[in-house]
Every structure is written in structure tokens, then in C-alpha cells.
Structure 1
Amino acid sequence: MTGAPDTGGPGGPGPVLDLAGLGFGEGAHLLVRRALAGLAPGAVLGVAGHDPALPLHLAAWCRREGHRMLPGPFPDPRVRAAVRRRPRDRDTGRRHGAERAGSPGPDGVVARPPAHWGPAARGALVEAGGPPVPFDVADRDIAWTDLAPRLYAHAAAAQWDPATAVDWAAPFTLPDAVEQAVVQVMTYLVENEQTALVIPARLLARVHPHFREVLQLLAVQAADEARHVEVFTRRALLRGGRMGTSSAGGRASLASLLAEPDFSLAFFLLSVLGEGSFLSLLGFLDRYAPDPVTRRVARLARRDEARHVAFGVAHLAHRADRDPALHGRLRGAVERRHDALRDTAGLNDDVFDALVVLAAGAWTPEAVARGHRAVRRLREEMDEGRRHRLARLGFPDDEAAELSALHTRSFM
């Protein structure tokens, strides 16, 4: 039967593949490979066909694939060549230097993928050779957390479009001073979210692609932050005003985050401490927003930030289980940052006052006092949240309280 083996064989009963006039330059190897795949290791396939170069091209293909050409003559006059299938299927293990890059699912993640795997798909059969592609985060104990696949699936399903998720045309009117307070807070959020965009984008480029769920999660995290920058900027300019002030102390605090070179320490400072504190801030804005657009953008951003914090905590908990010295390094990172920012002014006074105005809701002494208490309570909530997350990483309560107190006064 043309294109498929029949029951005649090269030396008696057995399969024969008739290629008719199909040559190896026209795809004959596909039919030969398919016929051999249906045979047991070591079985013989007769190959018939009238392409003049068939024996020569088949011999070269067999050498490359690890099969063996058998010498003729053959009892069956149709057969021009015979192939003994290789003893084992190359796809089941190493052969000619090829190796399996783990297995596709999360359970197939290896401890330390080599540099020459580069961007090979996890679970692929990686041929020998090819250039090494260096990634400095190439250790499962550094890059991985078992929560990453689930968090990525949640992140992919939770994406939202700024153009449709927010009703930008919702009617509202605010006094000028309240609108200015919203603009100032939005300005502060933008510069913090721009920093939170750059950090995962930088870290992403350092992670070995074998840990693909971590790459995917970092990419979505950067996309989340880009979206936050867009909606906070859009809300700030919604009523035609200008952006607010950016303090030197605030920028110094953010610069210290950008300067942290260690993968896990950068996550610790950004996600566990900084973005964790921002969960409280965005919850505050949800409660005290003076208009529906401000409330909506704060609520949407908070959902994303909660996922970022969950990943940071899970990643560091994974590392802490495997590295007893990690707690000392985390503590050192907090202390170094505190010392570097000791002489800065802390939270922008304009931001603090704007938060008081939003929480006050009126211009009476009693309302302003209420707003001031609400902002003080916000600081306490941030401290409580930091101490809780530090305790989840294994810090004793007294040390967690001490480290939380050393966190930057600029919140992030």
C-alpha cells in the first residue's frame, strides 16, 4: 500500500513502506518516521519506491536519527532498502546528547536548569549544542514558589481594561480644595506605581525561563502596575488640573528600592513591606473617596496589589524554608534602607494633608480632627499589616514589630 507499510518484508513476512515516487527532498522522511514509530525497537522496515536517490538519502537520514540501514539484496523485489529501528526511542531519554528539560507541569520543575537550555520549553527534548544563555536567577530555591501557577491563573483571569472598568463619565462635583487633594494623592500613587512597574520588569529579565509561571506572573504584575499608572494619572487630570508635587524624600525612598540588586530582597522591600502598606492606603481611599471614580480606581488597584503581596510573601516563605540565613539578610536590608533614608523628610506633607482632607469630608474643626485621626489610624493599620506579614515569614513578634517600625515613613 503506497504511503503505509503492508505485510511483505525485506527478508520474509514483515512491513514494507512503499514511497512510490516521493523523495526525501519532498517529505518522504515523514512517512518513514511514522512507519518506524509503529514498530517495536529493533524491528525491520522494508522501504520501496522509485526515487533514484532513495537509498542514499535514506542512509543519511538513518545515521542522523540513530536507525540502522541493512545491506541487501532482499527477497521482496520491491524493497530497495531496509531499516532496523533504533533500540530505544530517542524521545524517551537521552540520546546523542539530548536531554529532557524536566516535564511540562509545575511538578516537572528541576532544581537548577542549565544555561544551555535557555528559552527551551519546559518538558522539551533539548538537543545538544546551542549557546548558553545566562540567567542569574536559575535556582529553584531562589526563583520558585509552589503558589506561582495558581497566582498566575488568577492574575490572567483578573485583568481589566481601564477604558471600560471605570466609568470616567460618572457625574460628580467636588470643591476645588478636595479635588486638589485627590490630585495630590493620585500624583503620589503614580510615582510609586512607576517604581513598582520597573522592579518586576527588571527582575523578569533575570529569571531562567524554565520557571515560566514566575516569568508570567512578573509580566502580569508589570502590566498591572502600568494600568495603575494609567488610571491614577487619568483621575488626576480628569477635571483639567495639573499634577501635584513630588517630594525629594519620596523619590529617595523609591530610589532605594530600585537600587536593591538581590532578587529576594527586592521582593521583600517592594511587595512584603511597600505594596503591603499600600493595601492599607488603597483601602483608606476606597473608604474615604469623595467621588465614584476615585473609589473605583482605588478598589481595582487594591485587588491587583493583594496578588502582588501574596506572591512576594509566598516566594520569601519558600526561600526561608530552605535558607536559614535569609532572615538575617532580610533584617539587614531593612536596616540598610532605614539608615540610608534617616535624614530624608519622610511622607510628603502635601500627601499627608490631602489624606486628612479626604477623610475629614468637611471644613469644620471636628471634621479635620476626625480626618487626622483617620490618617493616624491608617499608619497603625500599615504597621499591623507589616508585622503580620513578617510573622508569616517566621520573624518573632518582637522582631517583626521592630522591623516594621524601621520601614520608610514614605509608606512604599
Structure 2
Amino acid sequence: MSSAPAADAEIHLGGLGFDRGAHLLVQRALASLPPGGRLAVSGLDPALPVHLPAWCRSRGHRVEWPNPADRSELVAVVVRGTADDDRRFGAERAGPALPSALSSRPPPRWGLGARGALLEAGGPEARFDLDDRDLVWADVAPKLYAQAAARQWDPETAVPWDDAFALPADVEAAVVQVMTYLVENEQAALVVPARFVGRIHPHFREVMQLLAVQMADEARHMEVFSRRALLRGAELGTSSAGGRQSLFTLVAESDFALASFLLSVLGEGSFVDLLSFLEQNAPDPVTRRVCWLAMQDERRHVVFGMAHLEHQATVDPLLRDRLRAAIHRRHDALVDTAGLNADVFDALVVLAAGGWHPDDVAAGFERVRQLQHVMDQGRQRRLVRLGFRPDEAAALSALHTRNFM
């Protein structure tokens, strides 16, 4: 520098030009100065007399040339303006970054801004219809998401696909039929959260993340159940019209609370009991393993569904009326269907029997009946937790679809 202009700070850019990042150094030096502060800037880049003023104008700063007749020295003084502050005028924080103090109803203008970020004024108003904390939230959501993310498993390595085993043809056929039924149920369990995740305001991102992982869980379950069904080269089993209709009533439900209730609290709660039954009665190590892995995931889904509805029950005195009506509505829609696929019921009996002696079949049949009782008792307990009287919980559980899910 051939002269030292009056300044509060100075910076030498060397040969770095604004086309290669020099503005970052100038911006950093100006950040430490108050409006009106003076920064002496020097450099060797020949384009500096053009690029520095242009950048300063775009940011609201002023440039002074101590020797305006001779700019070959490439020495300038940047006087810090207030544009950087003005740019934040009218900006607001998109709520707290942490989930411990969420907004009860985040505005549309927060939309796709990161929660806790300083939002520049203006921008689109992204509207999400599930924008009420009480409609979607559960305090356990962040913890459940962390657990779910940590417990993802790889279908290729988590299951002993290469373990040697040989089953009688009729037992293998029973496994294939049950696996076919499980795939159908998991398809519905994936579609239901997929319909809602894009409707939730991103302010409640932990719920979105949890539902996204839940969808990934169901995708894995579909994969491993399909793979087990085809492991010995068989074709898939039968798919009943009544079973598909039962599952479609879950997919068609447009209310988030009611869909969570029908799927997670009633359906997946019973599904956990079914997977436990299959894990205990599996005739081979692959079937046993895939059922055990899926059961761990499904338990987590039920926990969130219950926590979400227990929270909503504290703020919505009409929630139980809506849940009750949803059960009756689904029962009426399915009253003329056959219920559980007869092939599936028989396959469960075969697996539980473990043999073809009449006594074995009788024992297997009784175990399946006991499974249905366990499912019913579990539904009743969850309904009581949601505030229903025990007698009403028993009556409502009896109306649940005979297709289990």
C-alpha cells in the first residue's frame, strides 16, 4: 500500500479477485465494524477497481478512493452501510430449533424454512393442512425417531437366507400363504403414512421423519416377506377380495388421527401379536428371523400411534366419539365380507400344529383361537388407555375387522 487511508481496519487481498472469493474476506472484515465503519482494502487483482464497487453497491456499502486520479494503487476504503441489517428487518425466527417449545400452530410463511432459522421477509406461503401441534405431535416422537434411525437393519445381512432347511411341501405352502398375507398388510401400512407425511407442516419435522422411517420399515418388511415366500421357488399364495377391501378402508381414511388409530393402535397392535405367534411357531430359521425383525419395528409404530392419540385425547374432548364412530363405520363397510382369508387361517393352524396327527391339528387350531383372544385383549387394553370404559372397549374390539389388520 503506497498510502494509508484513514480507516478502522484494513485487509490486503493479495492476488485474490472477487471472481474467486475475495468478497468473503471483505464481508468477514466488515462484519466486525459498525455501520459507518471504514475498511481499507488493497489487492493486486487488476479487476479490483471494477469488482469491489459493484459488490459494495449490491450490499449497500460505499467505496471511497483516496487517490481518485490514480487507482493503480488499488487502494480503497469501504464504508459499511446498513443494507445487511436492513435485509433482516422484518425477518423472524421460524420458531425454536429444538422441539421442546414448538409453536402450537406455525404460520404458512414458515413453510419450508428450517425450524429455528432467521427467515428473510417475503417468500412463498407454503400451506400444510396438518399444521396444528395437537393434530400430529407426540412428545415421544424425537426419541422414537432416534431409536428408529439407529435400529434400521439390512435385509441382506440381517436374515440367514442361506441357512439349510427343508420343509414338507404342505408346510412350505402354509409359510408361503402367510407371507403373501403379510406382504399385503405391509403394503397398506406403507401407503397410509405416505398419504399424510406431505401434509404435515415441516415445523413438526420429527413426526415427518418418524413416519418416513416407518415407511422404510414397511418397505423392508415387504421385501423380506416376499423373499421368504419365494425362497424355495414357489409362487405367492391367494389374496382374498375381503382382505383387500379391509385394507383399503385403512388407505381411504383421510383423517390423520383416525387413520393412526385404525392402522397403528388397532391394526398394527394386532399385527404385533400375529408376528409374535409366527416367530414362536415358525418351522424354519428364515421365517423366524423375518417375523422377529418386523415385530420390533411394528412395536415402535404402535408406541407412536398410542402416544399421539393419548396426547390428542387430552386436548380434544370429542376424540373418543370420533374414534368410536370410525370403528363402527369400518365395521359397517366390511360387514358383508368374509373376513380373514380361509387359506390364511388354515395356514396358521398348520404352522401351529407342527404335524398332521389329529391331536396336532386340534392343538394348532386352539393356538390360533388363542391368538385371536390375545389380539382382542391387546386391543381392549389400548382402548382403555385411550379413555374408553372396559365394557365399551370390549364391545368396540369385537367390531374390529376379522382380517386382523
Q: Following TM superposition, by how much is the alpha carbon of 1:109 offset from its aligned partner in structure 2, in angstroms?
A: 3.1
Specify the alignment match of 1:36 in structure 2.
Answer: 30
Q: Deviations over 1:350-372 (max 9, x none)?
A: 11111111111121222111111
Q: Is the Cα–Cα contact under 8 Å of residues 20 and 48 in structure 1 kept in the other structure?
A: no
Distance 2:81 2:394 in 1: 68
Q: How does 1:116-135 map to 2 (within 5 A)?
A: 116-135=109-128
Equivalent residue number for residue 15 of structure 1 = 9
| Aligned residue runs from structure 1 range 10-409, under 5 A | 10=7, 14-19=8-13, 24=18, 26-39=20-33, 41-42=34-35, 44-49=37-42, 51-53=48-50, 56-57=53-54, 59-63=56-60, 69=62, 80-84=76-80, 86=82, 95-107=88-100, 109-409=102-402
Instruction: Kindly state the Cα deviation for residue 115 of structure 1 after the two structures are TM-superposed.
Output: 2.6
For residues 289 and 54 of structure 1, the distance between their equivalents in structure 2, rounded to whole angstroms, comes to: 73
> What does the per-residue CA deviation read over 1:3-37, in whole Å, with 9 as the maximum and x for residues that have no partner?
xxxx9844xxx323445676655544322321233
> Structure 2: how far apart are the matches of 1:170 and 1:312?
36
Give the stretch that moved more between structures: 25-34 or 281-290: 25-34
TM-score by length of 2: 0.89
Contact 1:357 1:368 in 2 (8 A): yes
Which amino acid counterpart does residue 311 of structure 1 have in structure 2?
Answer: F
Find the aligned partners of 1:366 and 1:343 in 2 and give their Cα distance. 34
- Deviation of the 1:210 alpha carbon: 2.3
Q: CA 1:110–1:33 in structure 2 vs 1: closer, same or farther (change >3 Å)?
A: farther
- Report the Cα distance in structure 2 between the residues aligned to 1:42 and 1:281, rounded to whole angstroms: 69
Change in CA separation of 1:46 and 1:175 when aligned onto 2, cut-off 3 Å: closer
Percent identity among equivalent residues?
A: 62
- Computed over aligned residues only, the root mean square deviation of the Cα atoms, in angstroms, reads 2.7
- What residue identity is the alignment partner of 2:49? P
Question: Shift of the alpha carbon at 1:209?
Answer: 2.1
SS in 1 for 2:39: strand
Counterpart-to-counterpart distance in 2, 1:167 and 1:173: 14
- Cα deviation for residue 118 of structure 1 reads 3.1
Structure 2, unaligned stretches of length 5 or more? 68-72
| Matched-pair contact (CA < 8 Å) for 1:21–1:49 | no
Going from structure 1 to structure 2, the CA distance change for 1:180 and 1:192 (only over 3 Å counts) comes to: same
Letter of the aligned partner of 1:104 in structure 2? A
Instruction: Report the alpha carbon displacement of residue 88 of structure 1 after superposing the two structures with TM.
Output: 9.6
Paired amino acid for 1:164: T
Q: Please give the TM-score of this superposition, normalised by the length of structure 1.
A: 0.87
CA contact (8 A) 2:42 2:74 kept: yes
Counterpart residue identity of residue 54, structure 2: H
Partners of 1:122 and 1:337 in 2: how far apart? Answer: 38
Separation in 1 of the partners of 2:15 and 2:291?
69
Kept in 1: contact 2:41–2:76 (CA 8 A)? yes
TM-aligned CA deviation for residue 204 of structure 1: 1.4
Amino acid across the alignment from 1:350: D
Unaligned runs of at least 5 residues, structure 1? none
Counterpart Cα distance in 1 of 2:180 and 2:300: 23
Shift of 1:328: 1.2
CA distance in 2, matches of 1:226, 1:193: 8
User: Could you tell me how far apart the structure 2 residues matched to 1:349 and 1:225 are?
Assistant: 25
CA distance in 2, matches of 1:103, 1:405: 44
Report how far residue 250 of structure 1 moved.
Answer: 0.7
